[in-house]
Structure 1
Amino acid sequence: MSRKKRYRIKRRNRMRRKNEAAKLRLLQHELLSYMGETLLHIQAAERQLQFCISYFFPDDKSKTIGEIEAQAEADRKKTLGQLLFLMRKRIEVNKMFDKELEQFVDDRNALAHGFLRIEGVNITSVEGIRNGAKFLEGLRAQAIYVQKTMRGLMNTILDEKPVSEEDADYMKLAKLIFFGGK
């Protein structure tokens, strides 16, 4: 093989590696963006849950608006797990929905405290990034589901008219989950 041909092969291989590295960096960036978006959905679900618990199911000690506001402020500092504990104390929760909430907490904690320890997830390979994106996709769906279910519960309690068919579905779901369909 001629010297010129060896040089061309090396150059081609070097270009291929650079392209693969650029592709990996792009996928990493997209994963991190999706992670941020998922985190925003989680925060919205947590706020919806906290708001619902604090204002629609205040503790028995809170009688006045001022006391409810003070309790809501204290509730804002609680972890997601603590909020679920409060919710279970204040209202009966369907067992299936309760399991979904537990899974949501577990997945949320995995994202917050050990994303790269999730099996199959890494940011150094295309496959690891795909696994991370798949995990985030599921967690994002869970967060949206929790948020919309809690909104459905509040709309049901307020006897609001659903704005969309989706709102009506979540109101029916909330009735089933929290009131046994009554």
Structure 2
Amino acid sequence: MSLLELLQTSTKWLLWASLALSLLTLISFLVKWKQSFRLVGVLAFTLLLAGSSWAFGISYTPPVVIEGALHPPIVFDNGDNLVVAQANNDFPEESIEPTLLQLAENLRGGGRNGAPVHIRIRQVLSNGEGISQPKILGEVIRDLKQNTTINVPLKVDEEISLNSDEETSLNSDEETSLNSDEETSLNSDEETSLNSDEETSLNSDEN
């Protein structure tokens, strides 16, 4: 049973219970029963529950479910124009678009100022020991005023940045290795030259 059906059923039974308690309360006053005022309290509380269930059932909107969508956790929401969901490393590519649409359809205005809301799904990729970098898998823009969703084409800036960082790291390692080899070679040549000069000088002094 869905929540909406539960609310409708509970409202109906609470109204019937309120009607029965009303009759019982009226009879208790006619026969001057000592528990009459307690029944008044129970009746008032039952009517309150019935009214609350009815109001909640009217205002309740069930969440939108789109086929193929997953449920990544929301890791950031600034309450205004940006919502970010965190995808795991094995998040299937075919689930990106339906998941974004599902997040957009279930987004509520709340305290937002009505501006278009950017909804993103991201992964956090390891870019070396102790270093991580976010990668945007997809993005949509939700216009709450127009009740429309606009798909944003995926940019490759993140991938370019990752490749650039990898190339920079490789180039840096190569330069470090070359500099180290050059320094070692220079030091070795200097030591050899000094030793040769010292030996020549000693031989000359002996002669």
TM-score by length of 2: 0.25
Higher helix share: 1
Higher strand share: 2
Tell me which structure has the larger Cα radius of gyration: 2
TM-score by length of 1: 0.28
